[in-house]
Structure 1
Amino acid sequence: MGNSFGCSASGERLVSAARDGDFVEAKMLLDCNPCLAKYSTFGGLNSPLHFAAAKGHNDIVALLLDNGADVNSRNYCGQTALMQACRYGHWEVVQTLLLFRCNVTRADYLSGRTALHFAAVNGHVRCIRLVVADFVPSAPFESIDTQPNTDAAPKNKYDQSALVKFVNKAADGGITALHMAALNGYADCVQLLLDLHANLSSVTFHYGTSMDLIGAGSTPLHYAACGGNLKCCQILLAKGASRLTLNCNGWLPLDVARMWGRHWLEPLLAPNSDLAIPIFPPSNYLSLPLMSVLNIARECGLQSSSTLSDDTDICAVCLERSCTVAAEGCRHELCVRCALYLCSTSNNPSEQLGPPGSIPCPLCRHGIISFSRLPGSPSKGMKLHLSLGFCTPCMLHPREPDENTPEISKNHVASVSPELFCPVTCSPFPSVAIPLCTCNEGTCPSSETRDDVAGNGSPPQRTNSGEEGKLGPLRVEKTSCSSMFWGRRSCSREQQCNSEINA
């Protein structure tokens, strides 16, 4: 685009400036022609906003959005700038995009992944915390930690159906963010997702890709067993995951652990295991006041007046800006920028001075649940574009369990055509290797060779302890856990977009 407006050369310069982090060049180009920010692409696969978000250039992201760039614009793969920021863990960019009301529920064209999937697969727990900010109310943790759809719940309890739907939104193949965090061994992400009511019983389904090596009908515990992280398995079991669930291949989580050489998990995952499971408190990354301070920042902006009167209260944290928010409870006053930074980064628990999920006040350590706007706060100092239209989720609702389900139940999941879920059928989860690296501390145990899974390609049935030697050698390639599924995608579209960003 842009050739008909005679700005192709300027657009290419803006793309280069956004990719390289050249703020002076980008500002000069936008001052000369602010319309450059509104064009989605200049002969490339990604817009300047995608380049800046993927590279973590937060100042350029804000500059583009202030000049009218579409915060929800998509690249060639249907990915938004929010997805790119979550992929690479740039939480400051995620924060800026949220201030401009980006749509966090959008899914990409390739496989129905949301920003939550991109953050979970690479273990960016701060990005997860920010992405769900508009779904977690600024209220005591007990108010959001009740089971949904219970008649006994008080009417003033927060309706968490939107949160549950978003956190459990599945990409193609039934993969949820919890599956990916458990597979790649990110215990902090697993714990936060479970506190946000991620479904322990969500299962995958047949999709003809590498995820079927673990087996369709697999729960997050099956994926954690494949990844081999002990703490992830402990967290899932402590939250109620079952060791006795069979997937469609007839495998327990114990069988998956044996197949992929995770022998250190066998005592924990054995059906008759009597190992004590640690008690895990609520996640330190749950941030209750984040919703309130985000809404205040959207209303009044982050920029304060440069001329401060003598009677203006200065923020005690930065000593630069005037106070615009007050912490509920202790009533200490901060500027909105410091309050937002505090809620986005703090992971220090404050159980003694506040409920779980509260953020300790930097001045008195009192637990902050929410912030309130001070009277007379300035009006918003940045342009906010209201673009919160919600897209239709690409979801498969799992079948409800039968009332007469036996103690050990097998997840029967039918094979589903990709045309039902994604308009682009380009092998969204191509064949990749299951990683041997477990991302645990210390060296990874050496892998052992086994027989072929099955000569005819059919999945093996569950075996007893005495038959574990009959499983054949799974030819796997040693890769990093972060490259599972999406780092080595064979889809040419995503490879082209990523290579353009990383050029």
Structure 2
Amino acid sequence: MVSIRKLVHALALLAVISLLVAAPTNAAQDGLISASVAGDLPRVKSLLAANADVDAKGLDGSTALIAASFAGHLEVVQTLLAAKADVNAKALDGSTALIAASFAGHLEVVQTLLAAKADVNAKALDGGTALMGAAGSGHVEVVRALLAANADVNAKDNHGMTALMMGASTPIYVRGDERARGHLEVVQNLLAAKADVNAKDANGCTALFRASQLDVVQALLAAKADVKANVGGFTALSVASARGDQKVVQALLAADADVNAKGLDGSTTALIGASSAGHLEVVQTLLAANADVNAKLLATGETAISLATKRDFVEIVQLLKAAACTPNK
């Protein structure tokens, strides 16, 4: 999955590059960067021949190599490397040319940088690596190239996120866009490279918690993802139920997920989450799996039916009543 912070970083990088192109502060220094991001190979060669500093940095700390790598200009990248550009130079946010190219999905640029001894496991300031960027963006060929170069498949960023979590995730802000959902081939390649399927992020969530695409969920389950993992009262089943992902709910139940799981603090069950969110088909599926219709929230004493009633989900209320649920009053 593309994480929000990485998307913001990408947009910020593009904005800074635009500023560099529009308003250079040093003709030789910024000219090389702007020519590189524009893919203007003749000008890049001319500036290098005039002894422009190949490793000069722009406003965000990016070098010409980082800018060209992010933009995907292979010949410019090759020319800069031939001029002894520092392949592992970092921008202010810690991004390297390899991280930038991997996030953007430029396979040939990635291969060229790796051949030039780019550090495959270099980390940005947020702890992100090239593999995480490629996985979250769904660039499976880049993922394969990085894994072949011994990228650390279980590295974590500052939030405890791994490449597998990023590849399996569906960002909330792109819900409904099938192109932005979890990336099956990426997940399969990471699992084949022995990614830890039950690794937990800083909040205790695993890749299974984050996945909402059925085939991705099935791949994680086949790799022995812990279907019963409980984080603060939430399980993969309760999260999928609250989202309304019926097929995922069915897959998790088939994998022996606990339909009535709740935390020690008496937090929500899958049925309460689905009922309060108005997901009728999920409610039907959970009831068929013997969900406890009388389970209560410890903090408020509310049940699935009282919450559905409060939100005017008439069909769900009728369904729960038929299942002999007693309203909480």
Both structures adopt the same fold (TM-score exceeding 0.5): yes
Equivalent residue number for residue 117 of structure 1: 165
* 1:115–1:459 distance in 2 versus 1, CA, 3 Å: farther
Say yes or no: does 1:236 pair with 2:252.
yes
Structure 2 residue 219 is matched with structure 1 residue 192: yes
- The Cα of 1:467 is off from its aligned counterpart by 6.2
Output aligned runs, 1:102-251, within 5 Å: 102-109=151-158, 111-122=159-170, 123-135=182-194, 166-181=196-211, 185-204=212-231, 216-247=232-263, 248-251=265-268
Measure, in 2, the Cα distance between the counterparts of 1:263 and 1:169: 32
Check the 8 A contact 2:275/2:305 in 1, yes or no.
Answer: no
Asked whether the 8 Å contact 1:252–1:462 carries over to 2, the reply is no
* CA contact 1:14–1:29 (8 Å) conserved in 2: yes
Aligned residues: 245
- Paired with 1:253 and 1:46, the residues of 2 have a C-alpha distance of 40
Once residues 42 and 252 of structure 1 are traced to their aligned partners in structure 2, the CA distance between those partners, rounded to angstroms, is: 45
Q: Distance in 2 between matches of 1:202 and 1:28?
A: 50
- The alpha-carbon deviation at position 133 of structure 1 amounts to 1.5
Aligned pairs for 1:433-452 (under 5 A) are none
Cα distance in 2, alignment partners of residues 125 and 199 from structure 1: 18
CA contact (8 A) 1:244 1:271 kept: no
Structure-2 separation of matches of 1:67 and 1:245: 51
TM-score (norm 2): 0.68
Give, in angstroms, the shift of residue 460 of structure 1: 3.5
Shift of 1:218: 1.0
| Shift of residue 272, structure 1, vs aligned partner | 5.8
1:94 corresponds to: 143
Q: 2:276 and 2:110 mapped to 1: Cα distance? A: 45
CA distance in 1, matches of 2:165, 2:260: 27
1:469 correspondence with 2:309: yes
**Distance of aligned partners of 1:272 and 1:228 in 2 relative to their CA distance in 1, 3 Å threshold:** closer
**TM-fit CA distance, 1:43:** 4.3
Which position in structure 1 is the counterpart of 2:16?
Answer: none
**Alpha-carbon separation, structure 2, partners of 1:13 and 1:88:** 23
Question: What TM-score comes out, normalization by structure 1 length?
Answer: 0.45
Structure 2 residue matching 1:8: 3-state secondary structure:
coil
- Residues in 1 aligned to 2:132 and 2:307: alpha-carbon distance in whole angstroms: 44
User: Aligned-pair distance for 1:44?
Assistant: 5.0
CA contact (8 A) 1:249 1:462 kept: no
- The yes-or-no answer on 1:8 pairing with 2:55 is yes
* Post-superposition offset of 1:465: 3.2
1:82 pairs with one of 114, 118, 131: 131
Q: Which runs of 5+ in 2 are unaligned?
A: 1-28, 30-52, 171-181, 314-329
- The within-5 A match list for 1:225-374 is 225-247=241-263, 248-270=265-287, 273=290
Residues 59 and 259 (structure 1), Cα distance of their counterparts in 2 relative to 1, 3 Å cut: same
Matches of 1:93 and 1:201, distance apart in 2:
33
Bigger RCO of structures 1 and 2 (CA < 8 A, at least 6 apart)? 1
| Corresponding residue SS for 1:74 | coil
Deviation at 1:131, TM superposition (A): 1.0
Q: Is the 8 A contact 1:116 1:177 kept in 2?
A: yes
Offset at 1:265?
A: 1.1
The one of 71, 76, 94 aligned to 1:20: 71
SS, match of residue 232 in structure 1: helix
Displacement after TM superposition at 1:37 (Å): 0.8
Q: CA RMSD in A?
A: 2.9
1:172 counterpart SS class: coil
Tell me: CA distance 1:461–1:189, structure 2 relative to 1, closer, same or farther (3 Å): farther
Tell me, yes or no, if the aligned pair for 1:254 and 1:269 is still in contact at 8 Å.
yes
Which residue does the alignment assign to 2:36? none
Aligned-pair identity in percent equals 29
Q: Secondary structure at the match of 1:104?
A: coil
**Offset at residue 90 of structure 1 (A):** 0.4
Change (3 A) 1:467 1:98: closer
Evaluate the alpha carbon distance shift between residue 246 and residue 38 of structure 1 in structure 2; reply closer, same or farther with a 3 A threshold: closer
